[in-house]
Structure 1
């Protein structure tokens, strides 16, 4: 009797597997319990490091928590519901820092502004070093939370956006080389400081003074954080939220005029913190916006593990597309630039994401607050792009160049 029950169970499971494969459009092979008209089971489960059924998963993903899903009638209720979902998917937060306890450990005069090195409690788990530019003159000043990029370079973080000093010569050279390649030779924090902004930047975990895992260690770091109930992308997001709180609390700034600015992974962080923090009143995001469907296409970089762990929140992306998360910032002023020949973000996906965001801002009568533009070129933030983005930032935050 026991044998008969197990046999029937096996037959039922085979039929279930066969039916699942058939519905997924997969090739199957014959077996004694398979229906005569077809084949029986998967003989390959992975192709190009993706599950063989990834196309059918993408096709059935409808983003039910999107404002564009038609399931919500009240925009504020949607924002509250969707934001709670995003926060949930960040997983466990780091320990509360309690007091920031900032200490200035260095300062350099750069003419119209000074740059400070500040040590403070970013979280209860991490006592970190940050750079902050402060214009000379009478405040309060508008402020920018600068989020550094990934770039595959882990020896520098905050040094990618504010020119370092008092560091080993090889670190300065690394920063200058990266800035020449991606920022057209401009340390954007220094450029914004010249325009009258307080700029603040610190390192994400695994970069610069908080390094140690480098490129090869990213997946292991992400896995180990998951074993601790956290995620790498979630930790970066939590820390960006804490950094926004710290910046808004500084006496030199106007807390109602705080923007987030970043390129590449920094752009992702910029629109994400603008979506989740009421401290951020505007954002500039360069070279990171598209659709999940576009990125989940081999051999896109996002399908290659390692670096992808910095921007993926477990259990979120079947409910909200990237543009939906960014749109939690609506109706704030937001600017997005992408490069038409950026291999990391195919243009078709970029334009679909832009269209989704415009539909959301337009639905709230705030279409003029969202700027999207595709530029000739690749994964770069050129001087021409900087001039246009920073002029837009001046108009929205009311900054004036220091004398």
Structure 2
């Protein structure tokens, strides 16, 4: 009892009125719950079996479960029979490429806007880079090279956010979809009020409907891929996806759930869920119900194997701590080694914080697509 009294009688336990208080210990709560949790699809359940069939079965079962908890399974079921109904609303000519603005139907009464940039001098069909933007009021616009001002262009280039134009310079086509919750796919009232996103309310509604924003975003990107497959200019055997922050999340989950993606380069997102989404304050759009009961982030990335994957992180990124990045990458290496594809898995750490780094991206793509 004396020990209990000493524990409670500390300065930190007094409120402003001088009364003793207790507060919720979030970190202890997290560690206590995680310590008792056995993830259903932890890759280590099949590690060391050396059986290709068992790894394939693990991926198939885990992919199905992930589609269920993100709501993607329900979304796809409800979208059966919905035509793409594509419409090109704008075509702009630039010296090196043509940029089309296109809308396709993702679900009943829901359209997804995106830009398609086609290089003029490349031999057709051309490889395709899908560029997923992160949080930011103008969503896809900067990533597609549609800047509001020369100053915005300069800033985007300095931060390597001009992803579509980078792809064009490599001779690839680029698709830049709007991520649900931003700009043209944000709520009108939020944009009129000057907000930069609609994630909070849209995630609240989607969760109540048995969905998640991650699942809806993956579905939108898969529908954009359906459209890409109708364009003879595009080489659907060489489709990569890259993006930054929440765009990095879209990269990981789209590639994990849609096997048409042949190469993945998520920027400033890869880590463990424990070190990042669980322990650091993030936008609610990153939340997936029960994800930690089924797998860690490295398990999700394991669904991409043996397809090439390049993780891009900042050394000092406070949202995705580098300690968790290295822990997670070691596990991903284990999975890729089981697939005999250790040379297809790489981590690049840039000298900076929460931002995209292009330094290694396009060399990695060329090397992997040349194999």
Bin of the TM-score, shorter chain as denominator length: 0.7 to 0.9
| Equivalent in 360, 363, 366 of residue 391 of structure 1 | 363
Q: Note the residue ranges of structure 2 that are not aligned, 5 or more in a row.
A: 1-6, 9-20
Q: How does 1:101-180 map to 2 (within 5 A)?
A: 101-137=85-121, 138-150=123-135, 153-154=136-137, 156-164=138-146, 171-172=148-149, 176=153, 179-180=156-157
User: Structure 1 residue 324 and structure 2 residue 299: aligned?
Assistant: yes
Which position in structure 2 is the counterpart of 1:204?
179
| Structure 1 contact 338–373 (Cα < 8 Å) conserved | yes
User: Structure 1 residue 313 and structure 2 residue 260: aligned?
Assistant: no
| Structure 2 contact 186–197 (Cα < 8 Å) conserved | no
| Equivalent in 58, 75, 82 of residue 34 of structure 2 | 58
Which position in structure 1 is the counterpart of 2:253?
272
1:350-393 alpha-carbon deviations (Å, 9 max, x no partner): 000000100000111110011112222112224xxx24211211
CA distance in 1, matches of 2:90, 2:210: 36
| Equivalent in 174, 180, 204 of residue 223 of structure 1 | 204
CA distance in 1, matches of 2:75, 2:301: 21
Give the total of aligned pairs.
340
Deviation of residue 45 (structure 1)?
A: 6.9
Identify if the C-alpha distance between structure 1 residues 225 and 115 changes in structure 2 by more than 3 Å, giving closer, same or farther.
same
| CA RMSD of superposed structures (Å) | 2.7
User: Structure 1 residue 75 and structure 2 residue 60: aligned?
Assistant: no
CA distance in 2, matches of 1:117, 1:290: 34
SS in 2 for 1:374: strand
| Structure 1 contact 164–172 (Cα < 8 Å) conserved | no
Which position in structure 2 is the counterpart of 1:84?
64
| Structure 1 contact 90–237 (Cα < 8 Å) conserved | no
| Structure 1 contact 182–379 (Cα < 8 Å) conserved | no
CA distance in 1, matches of 2:134, 2:141: 10
Q: How does 1:88-103 map to 2 (within 5 A)?
A: 88-91=68-71, 92-93=74-75, 95-96=78-79, 98-103=82-87
Identify if the C-alpha distance between structure 1 residues 101 and 297 changes in structure 2 by more than 3 Å, giving closer, same or farther.
closer
| Structure 2 contact 129–240 (Cα < 8 Å) conserved | yes
SS in 2 for 1:331: coil
TM-score by length of 1: 0.77
Which position in structure 2 is the counterpart of 1:377?
352
CA distance in 1, matches of 2:326, 2:316: 13
CA distance in 2, matches of 1:321, 1:297: 11
1:198-232 alpha-carbon deviations (Å, 9 max, x no partner): 11112122211122244575323211222233222
CA distance in 1, matches of 2:295, 2:23: 26
Deviation of residue 271 (structure 1)?
A: 1.9
CA distance in 1, matches of 2:131, 2:176: 5
| Structure 1 contact 340–375 (Cα < 8 Å) conserved | yes
Identify if the C-alpha distance between structure 1 residues 178 and 69 changes in structure 2 by more than 3 Å, giving closer, same or farther.
farther
Deviation of residue 189 (structure 1)?
A: 0.3
Q: Note the residue ranges of structure 1 that are not aligned, 5 or more in a row.
A: 1-26, 29-42, 166-170
| Structure 2 contact 314–355 (Cα < 8 Å) conserved | yes
Range 370-379 or range 323-332, more displaced: 370-379
SS in 1 for 2:210: coil
Range 106-115 or range 352-361, more displaced: 106-115
CA distance in 2, matches of 1:217, 1:99: 26
User: Structure 1 residue 247 and structure 2 residue 248: aligned?
Assistant: no
- Structure 1 stretches of 4+ moved >6 Å: none
Identify if the C-alpha distance between structure 1 residues 301 and 210 changes in structure 2 by more than 3 Å, giving closer, same or farther.
same
SS in 2 for 1:279: coil
| Structure 2 contact 99–116 (Cα < 8 Å) conserved | yes
| Structure 1 contact 203–209 (Cα < 8 Å) conserved | yes
CA distance in 2, matches of 1:181, 1:136: 25
